[in-house]
Structure 1
């Protein structure tokens, strides 16, 4: 299901928040993706596992406490629905 379909389903059956609040998500570090000369080859293979798009220079990325990184928009949407990392399933807490 897409994000929009999940929202529609939630409206139809009701929701119980399983995600983080926007205030807690805003506390997570956000950085810009940099592509240096030495990491250029590696960065071509780096993708956001949520949207499957490669990171491009200047993309805003959010880093979870488990050190996994996602596009900031993708990570924010994910964490508003589910407070566990999509790679390692470690719960992101507000601490």
Structure 2
């Protein structure tokens, strides 16, 4: 999962460069992804979370966005609280692109 130190570094960088938060509410985050449980015997290639860079392990929950990219549920949930885009392809994670309260 995403480490606290790495997340803090990302937040500090965002503050320095002045990006405007476009994060989503928890409810919208849940609607923006399909959750599944990872099983290595069902998938031919090993997967890796592009946020924390850790390999997926059996029985971990993954969240798949509409664009098809998947991540650890905890990692992508934290990401979407800050940004309404896929961290890989930058597609909108939800149909609503404005900041939700």
| TM-score class normalised by the smaller sequence | 0.7 to 0.9
2:59 counterpart residue number: 58
Instruction: State TM-score, norm by structure 1.
Output: 0.77
Could you list the runs of 5+ residues in structure 1 that have no partner in the other structure? none
Q: TM-score, normalised by structure 2?
A: 0.73
Displacement of 1:53 after TM fit? Answer: 0.1
User: What's the CA shift string for 1:21-79, capped at 9, x where partnerless?
Assistant: 1110112211100111x64x612xx2100000000000100010101000000000000
Q: Structure 1: which 4+ aligned runs deviate by more than 2 Å?
A: 4-11
Instruction: Give the count of matched residue pairs.
Output: 90
Stretches of structure 2 that go unaligned for 5 or more consecutive residues are: 97-101
Aligned residues of 1:33 and 1:56 also touching (Cα < 8 A): yes
Partner of 1:34: 39
Q: Is the partner of 2:59 in helix, strand or coil?
A: coil
What is the match of residue 84 of structure 1?
85
- Bigger Cα Rg: 1
